[in-house]
Amino acid sequence: MKLILLGPPGAGKGTQAKMLVEHFGIPQISTGDILRGAIKAGSPMGLKAKEYMDAGALVPDEVVVGIVEERLQQDDCAAGFILDGFPRTLPQADALAVTLKTLDKELDAVISLVVDTEALVARLAGRRTCRDCGAGYHLLHEPPRKDGICDKCSGELIQRDDDKEETIRNRMEVYQQQTAPLVDYYRNLGLLSEVDGMMDISAVGQRILEILKA
């Protein structure tokens, strides 16, 4: 199963990717998570990426394309993978096509999660992430059992720097301008399925699994 999860910030890509990891036993490749890992590790790539991420802008294509190229060649991607947050621009989509061709792999599906802007802003504003294991929560929709504490590892739950109001607006604009064209790109390739991402988390997950079975 080789998939792309497409959708604006807060659409539920990460949440559904985690469900699919459990269901299919294939890895989630989140460029956002990889970049945040590089920032945490203080690597040169992380330092460079941080400026863009803090501003809610996209990290340059060559950086993320390099990350994904390398990641897709690892053994655990042999049976499939879930791309979460990549590609985000037309050049990234073209680069992915070239990489997959070289590796003799083909995409099975692109799932586009559709959520209205107001709901996205509320989801991002209420999103909390475990500092230690990266598990995701929402203050209202997916609250932890204990306030501020991760259910899985007891780590501290934090708000991402780029989930602050000013940055959220900018990320929405960047999505409209640079990423939204990918919906037509994959529709033209006959790969796109749109899913109503306004439903609750488990209903969205069910719908995705139905589509993948068909």
Q: Which residues bind ligand ADP (CB under 6 A)?
A: 7, 9-15, 31-32, 35, 52-53, 56-59, 64, 85-86, 88, 92, 123, 126-127, 136-138, 141-142, 162, 171, 197, 200-201, 204
In the bound state with ligand ADP, the residue whose beta carbon lies nearer, of 104 and 145, is: 145
In this structure, the dihedral spanned by the alpha carbons of residues 27, 93, 31 and 19, taken in order and rounded to 10 degrees, is -40
Name residue 193's beta-bridge partners.
111
What residues have CB less than 8 Å from 16, skipping those under 6 apart? 5, 111, 113, 201, 204, 205, 208
Strands 157-158 and 127-130: antiparallel
Instruction: Give catalytic status of residue 88 as yes or no.
Output: yes
- Regarding 135 and contact with Zn ion (CB under 5 A), the answer is yes
Instruction: Give catalytic status of residue 160 as yes or no.
Output: yes
- Regarding 80 and contact with Zn ion (CB under 5 A), the answer is no
Q: Structure tokens of 59? A: 């990290």
State the alpha helices, DSSP H only, in the chain.
13-24, 31-41, 44-55, 61-72, 90-102, 117-126, 165-174, 181-188, 201-213
Catalytic residue among 18, 36, 123, 127: 127
Instruction: Give catalytic status of residue 13 as yes or no.
Output: yes
- Regarding 157 and contact with Zn ion (CB under 5 A), the answer is no
Q: Which does 133 bind (CB under 5 to 8 A by kind): ligand ADP, Zn ion, none?
A: Zn ion
Count other C-beta atoms under 10 Å from residue 45's C-beta: 17
In the bound state with ligand ADP, the residue whose beta carbon lies nearer, of 26 and 123, is: 123
| Residue 147 CA: distances (Å) to CA of 137, 153, 200 | 11, 14, 22
- Regarding 211 and contact with Zn ion (CB under 5 A), the answer is no
Instruction: Give catalytic status of residue 2 as yes or no.
Output: no
Of 107, 56, 64, nearest to 85 by C-alpha is 64
Instruction: Give catalytic status of residue 187 as yes or no.
Output: no
In the bound state with ligand ADP, the residue whose beta carbon lies nearer, of 7 and 27, is: 7
The CA R_g of the chain, rounded to the nearest whole Å, is 16
- By CB atoms closer than 10 A (0-12, 13-18, 19+), residue 165 is exposed
- Pick out residues in 8-27 that bind Zn ion (CB under 5 A): none
Among 103, 133, 158, 189, binds Zn ion (CB under 5 A): 133
Q: Which does 186 bind (CB under 5 to 8 A by kind): Zn ion, ligand ADP, none?
A: none
In the bound state with ligand ADP, the residue whose beta carbon lies nearer, of 104 and 116, is: 116
Site residues (CB under 5 A) for Zn ion?
A: 130, 132-133, 135, 150, 152-153, 155
Catalogue the active-site residues: 13, 88, 127, 160, 171
